[in-house]
Amino acid sequence: MTDGPFRNLKLSRRWKRFSEAVQNDSVDKAEVCALASDAFVREILTDDAQALMADLQAYEQREQLDFDPTSSFEAIFDDHSKTPFADTLQKELAFRLAEKMPPNVAVEQALEASVNDQIIEARNHIEEECIRVLESGEMRKDQFDRTITQVDAAFETLNKDAICDAIRAGDKNAFKNAVSKKKGLDEGPNL
Amino acid sequence: MTDLNEISAQEIGRRLRIARENAGIRQDEAAQVIGMSRPTLVSIEQGARRVRIQELQSLAHHYGVSVNAILRREAVHTDLVPRYRKLKEAEDVHTTEAVQLLNNLVKAEVELENVLGIERRKNYPPERGINTGDVIELAEQHAQELRNWLGIGSGPITDIFSLIEFDLGIRLYQRRLSSGSKVAGLFTYEPSIGACILLNANHPLERRIQSAAHEVGHFSGTRQIPEVLEDNEQFLSREERYANAFGRAFLTPRKSFEESFRQLTAGSDTLTRRHVILLAHQNHISREACVRRLEELGLIKKGIWAWFEANGGITNAQAKEVLGSAAEIHDPAKDDASRLISHRMSLMMHAAWKRDLMSEGQLADLLNIPRIELRAIIDQIELEESDTDDLLKLPH
């Protein structure tokens, strides 16, 4: 969207689009929020993560009583590859199960905690990239300060419930409409 | 041909120096050709020693020009190339090509005008200078003052090329540069021949309009400094920033542009593609230039063009949807640029040939085209003239 340092951030295409939008006054807050949510959900929901979420949901929906949910969940996680998100989710779940929390509640709370954790990770990653381009001289200090402020503000306004719902349902396209390009003749940014 | 003795030693020395520099030959090498030392050649070029006819013949032959081309009274013995040498862009192959082309075009046109006795009317306002003050404010002020001086008020400029050529009397050429050339335009000013602009005719019309207005900025503010306008220039000097701002202010003066924007967007809380297409069309500028000018004037938020780009841009199909057939803009200069030589140059060349003022060989050399092509152009004009004459015969 803009020339200069924002193009050089080593981020995925979607996070780059977000970081460019975040410092563009003409992009409204709701659009920025949708871009972050979309980038986040798509980054988390790899094919394997989608399969993991489907298995967790299947476990929650089964009617059979489970005397050893910890082992069952371990087996589910062992069937899927390790990702930072899956790893965090497994740890959060194991901790709650050890506290004798009912499995369904434990999954819900572990998911929320993992999403929170990954949101912080994503924000840190963007800010580290900004620091890198600041130190390499590609970004000015005023651009850096402004970007950090705007990124923080955007992450504060994220709708975490909507993100959790999308991840739980394995729905990569949950924010697709909100971030789709507005190409109409009578569409445009706010004056 | 002019007699050797009719020209002063200084003048012939100057012409020999220009011919040598054009051929890219060093003084010591040239001196060897006529079997003398470098200081002797220097004294010939400085006019301290008159060149002998045999020496002149040898040097001309070595420089790849005819003796006639050096001695012709009407010939243009001005070289624009050295003016660009101090510019950093001049080392670039595309800039060299553009500078050489401009040089050749100017030389050919001025010589043909001299031969035919055509006097070019110049209507130059004084050079403004930009040494003090904010360049953007200066550019806005100077652009409006030039508009007032030309008597064109504040409205859109329908044909900036005619304005440059006929109202200001600047020599304007629109020719195609190599396909990969990043040169958009050139400007130079030489007191004996006036101000000259070359635009890259490969670029679309709206882009050339922008480049032309930019070059008028150089003409207005910093005439004495030659300039090369390149695509996506990273470093912008004070002169470049002035010329950029001048170009925008000249094409879209703040007051009238703001007024048409307000009228067009009245009652709307968004800037739609339709608004941009209509406003750009009204002002004969590109859609990008239109949005960026609105941003610059603070009439819309910064980054709106970036928003459009991120959302698929504004397409030609959409412009056609809004404007209908008016979206197709006639661009005669582009057609003219596709010819081997321009229509104007062809007609002057034909007139000089028809009146026996120059031979086919001299004209082919002057215009840098093969004789066979030159002959084809002459035949074509002759044929068209005879057809036109037939039309004028009254029926019996």
Tens-digit pLDDT profile for residues B199-257 = 999 999 999 999 999 999 999 998 887 777 777 666 678 888 899 999 999 999 999 99
Q: Which residues pair with B195 in a beta bridge?
A: B189
Statement: residue A140 has pLDDT above 90: no
Enumerate residues 6+ apart whose C-beta is below 8 A from B302. Answer: A24, A25, A26, B295
Of A183, A185, A190, the CB nearest to B322: A185
Q: Under an 8 A CB cutoff, do A190 and B274 touch?
A: no
Query: Mean pLDDT score of chain A, rounded to an integer?
Result: 87
For residue B274, the chain A residues in CB contact (below 8 A) are 185-186
Q: Under an 8 A CB cutoff, do A190 and B312 touch?
A: no
Residue A1 forms contact with B (CB below 8 Å): yes
For residue A181, the chain B residues in CB contact (below 8 A) are 310-312
DSSP three-state, residue B381:
helix
For residue A34, the chain B residues in CB contact (below 8 A) are none
Enumerate residues 6+ apart whose C-beta is below 8 A from B50. Answer: B9, B12, B44
Between CA B208 and CA B176 the distance in angstroms is: 12
**Minimal CA separation from A183 to chain B, in Å:** 6
Mean pLDDT comparison of A59-73, A96-110, B67-81, B228-242, highest-scoring range: A96-110
Between CA B34 and CA B121 the distance in angstroms is: 43
Enumerate residues 6+ apart whose C-beta is below 8 A from B164. Answer: B170, B172, B197, B212, B216
Statement: residue A83 has pLDDT above 90: no
For position A4, what pLDDT does the model report?
Answer: 54
Does the predicted interface ipTM exceed a cut of 0.90? no
Q: Under an 8 A CB cutoff, do B309 and A182 touch?
A: no
- The residue among B150 and A11 whose pLDDT is bigger is B150
A1 confidence band (pLDDT: 50, 70, 90): very low
A111 confidence band (pLDDT: 50, 70, 90): very high
Residue A34 forms contact with B (CB below 8 Å): no
Between CA B19 and CA B77 the distance in angstroms is: 8
Q: Under an 8 A CB cutoff, do A185 and B318 touch?
A: yes
Low-confidence stretches of chain B (pLDDT beneath 50): none
Residue A142 forms contact with B (CB below 8 Å): no
The two three-digit tokens of residue B38, written as one number: 């470098």
Q: Under an 8 A CB cutoff, do A189 and B304 touch?
A: yes
- Put simply, whether the predicted model's pTM sits higher than 0.90 gets the answer no
For position A26, what pLDDT does the model report?
Answer: 84
Statement: residue A3 has pLDDT above 60: no
Measure Cα distances from B219 to A169, B130, B144, B214, B326 in Å.
65, 12, 14, 9, 32
Q: State the amino acid at position B1 in one-letter form.
A: M
Of A21, A24, A191, the CB nearest to B269: A191
For position B86, what pLDDT does the model report?
Answer: 63
